[in-house]
Amino acid sequence: MPALVLVFAWLLGGVCGGISAAELRPPLTTAEGYAVPQPGRRFEFPHDHGAHPEFKLEWWYVTGHLFAADERRFGFQATFFRRAGPMATLATNRVDIADTVGGTASPWFRTDEVHLAHIAVLDVRTGKFVFQERLNRRGWDADAATNSLHAWNGNWSLRMTNAMSQAMELVGSVRGEAAFRLALTPEKPLVVFGENGVSRKGASPTAASHYLTFTRLKTAGTLRLGSESLTVQGRSWMDHEISSSQLDPGQAGWDWACLQLHDGRDVMAYRMRRKDGSTDPFSTLAWVDASGRVTHVGAGQFSWQSTGTARHPRSGVLYPSRVKLTTSDPAGGTGAMIELHLDPLAPHQELDGGLSGIPYWEGACRVLDAQRREVGAAFLELTGYAGALGGRF
């Protein structure tokens, strides 16, 4: 999700409604003419790692945990968003750039496609969290290749360096405060979440995505904090979601998490929250075993419970950033229920949405079991707590 995730209503350009949930197959396009994810799609790589202009929005999202030689710990996020469609008036002049070069119309700016990117770094030892956001129209400053993975926004980039191994390189920075260059190598096969290649987010058949994920990426490279340069290694998670709409009118936002457990298994979970506070039945949890096999758990078979909150000092938004997941455990086939607790590595990991106008919480966590033993690492995303997901667009 990030999520998308990933992601917000400015990317969506509104929510979809008016389509009966009884429809057995989604329409080919939305009312605006953008493609809708279809069951049974055959993905072809490296092509499908790239951009899909026929869909209204997509994003490439990487989060991870890094360690220096002295076990000093860091969290990081890098997300590249692409949105097609007419641009509304922006509350920034960032993309209000001249549409002419030398007095003639420039093809570089004949586009309604915009690219948003987020970079964040957490120093766990000090608790310092730094974040930067960029917004550009497609052209010189930002774009995404269609034949393979290469998304960039300014000097930030995510690109595939080896189509056979699907290795990648991620480059990012936060003004002069932090910078990194990381090599990402898959430790598990790519997985496709959802049923028959479609991840549903609501009753409307158009509220869905193609959801492609590398749940474990061996990560190594360099991290600079101020004038300090560190060699780091660790593990990352990467989502690539392709969609044209993800919210139903009755939904207020979502809670999403990715967990990498020490026993070699991974968990992805999202709770779509309805405006009345209930959990949408299209919420889901998925286990990924050590071999990469996916087992989905429906909304009625897991619970997402807040166990603690933190109010961000800058925005004043109260985030339920301590979470208990209770779910059946597919290991051994017994159906036994287990608890997984998400414990933030720092309380204040809010991305302030200075350009998009939508603050949200996206943070590194440790995973604890019912006996409070550390059993993994996670990232948690909380959206819709700062108001409607409308932003400035």
Given this model, what pLDDT does residue 388 score? 63
Given this model, what pLDDT does residue 285 score? 97
Nearest C-alpha neighbor of 312 from the set 357, 346, 342: 346
Which tokens sit at 292?
């990469």
- Distance separating alpha carbons of residues 214 and 366, to the nearest angstrom: 20
Domain boundaries, the chain: 9-13+48-97+106-382
* Residue 26 or 3, more confident: 26
Nearest C-alpha neighbor of 317 from the set 351, 363, 356: 351
Length in residues, the chain: 393
The CA-atom distances, in angstroms, between 344 and each of 9, 229, 256 are 26, 25, 14
Residue 346 has pLDDT above 50, yes or no: yes
3-state per-residue secondary structure call for the chain = CCECECCCHHHHCCCCCCCCCCCCCCCCECCCCCECCCCCCCCCCCHHHCCCCCCCEEEEEEEEEEECCCCCEEEEEEEEEEECCCCCCCCCCCCCCCCEECCEECHHHCCCCEEEEEEEEEECCCCEEEEEEEEEECCCCEEECCCCCEEEECCEEEEEEECCCCEEEEEEEECCCEEEEEEEEECCCCEEECECCEEECCCCCCCEEEEEEEEEEEEEEEEEECCEEEEEEEEEEEEEEEEEECCCCCEEEEEEEEEEECCCCEEEEEEEEECCCCECCCCEEEEECCCCCEEEEEHHHEEEEEEEEEECCCCCCEEEEEEEEEEECCHHHCCCEEEEEEEECCCCCEECCCCCCCCEEEEEEEEECCCCCEEEEEEEEECCCCCCCCCCC
Rg of the chain (C-alpha set): 20
Residue 110 has pLDDT above 70, yes or no: no
Residue type, 38: Q
Burial of 83 (0-12, 13-18, 19+ CB in 10 A): buried
Average pLDDT, the chain: 87
Count CB-CB contacts under 10 A for residue 357.
19
- Distance separating alpha carbons of residues 161 and 169, to the nearest angstrom: 7
Given this model, what pLDDT does residue 357 score? 78
Which tokens sit at 166?
């699907």
Query: Largest Cα–Cα distance of the chain, in whole Å?
Result: 71
pLDDT tens profile 171-215: 999 999 999 999 999 999 999 999 999 999 999 889 999 999 999
Residue 129 has pLDDT above 90, yes or no: yes
Nearest C-alpha neighbor of 280 from the set 203, 361, 388: 203
- Distance separating alpha carbons of residues 176 and 35, to the nearest angstrom: 40
Which homologous superfamily is 9-13+48-97+106-382 in? AttH-like domain (2.40.370.10)
- Distance separating alpha carbons of residues 59 and 334, to the nearest angstrom: 37
Residue 133 has pLDDT above 70, yes or no: yes
Given this model, what pLDDT does residue 86 score? 58
- In the structure, what pLDDT confidence band is assigned to residue 24 with cuts at 50, 70 and 90? low
**Are 352 and 314 in contact, with CB atoms under 8 Å apart?**
yes
Nearest C-alpha neighbor of 6 from the set 364, 366, 351, 367: 351
Residue 74 has pLDDT above 50, yes or no: yes
**Are 265 and 288 in contact, with CB atoms under 8 Å apart?**
yes
Q: Is the pTM of this model over 0.85?
A: yes
The CA-atom distances, in angstroms, between 4 and each of 238, 250, 297, 334 are 10, 19, 20, 32
Given this model, what pLDDT does residue 1 score? 59
